[in-house]
A = this chain, B = another copy of it.
Amino acid sequence: MMKEIRVQFETLEPYKEIDALRADNKAIGAVVNFIGLMRDFNEGDTVSRMTLEHYPGMTERALEKIVDEACGRWDLMGVRVIHRVGDLDPLDPIVLVAVASAHRGEAFKACEFIIDYLKTRAPFWKKERMADGERWVDARHTDDEAEARWQS
């Protein structure tokens, strides 16, 4: 199992990561990936910029734990979780979760599981800048519900 977890200030390049995940492994039949992108609109306001803060050390531990849990639940050939921090502009990728497996069912489940848990358990915080100031983004109730689905 190829596993790569990274938190970075540099621009996230999803395609480079997916290529690295596949790494010319001819046994991989399915790659499912989620790309989270910065939107220019949230909660009714136009957002011009975003800053992502995180808790260095804890973030990596939290992501490791989530990925290990996914690897225990499903038969995977590779997982990559790359998360941006720092300043982001609209259209910038915020996060990539890419999962490779022999068949698609496991890749789909693992990919959604990882992003659902990341959203509620990994210590990242978004701050949005609008024309008239800035604000910290509130946690979404739907994210808790998404996570809860996996606890059965």
Contacts and interface: CB of A to CB of B under 8 A. Distances in A.
A118 B30 CA distance: 15
Interface string A14-49: 110010001010111111111111111100000000
7 contacts: A24-B91, A28-B39, A29-B37, A29-B38, A30-B36, A32-B35, A33-B33
Interface residues of A, number: 34
A34 B39 contact: no
A36 B108 contact: no
B29 A39 contact: yes
Nearest to A96: B31
3 shortest A-B CB distances, which residue pairs?
A26-B40, A26-B90, A31-B35
Given A36-B29, A39-B27, A108 B105 contact: no
A93 to B, nearest CB: 9
Contact of A108 (B28, B30, B39, B108): B108
Contacts of A112: 104, 108
A27 B15 contact: no
Given A32-B35, A108-B111, 13 more contacts: A15-B15, A15-B18, A22-B37, A24-B91, A26-B39, A26-B90, A26-B91, A27-B39, A27-B41, A29-B37, A34-B107, A39-B102, A104-B115
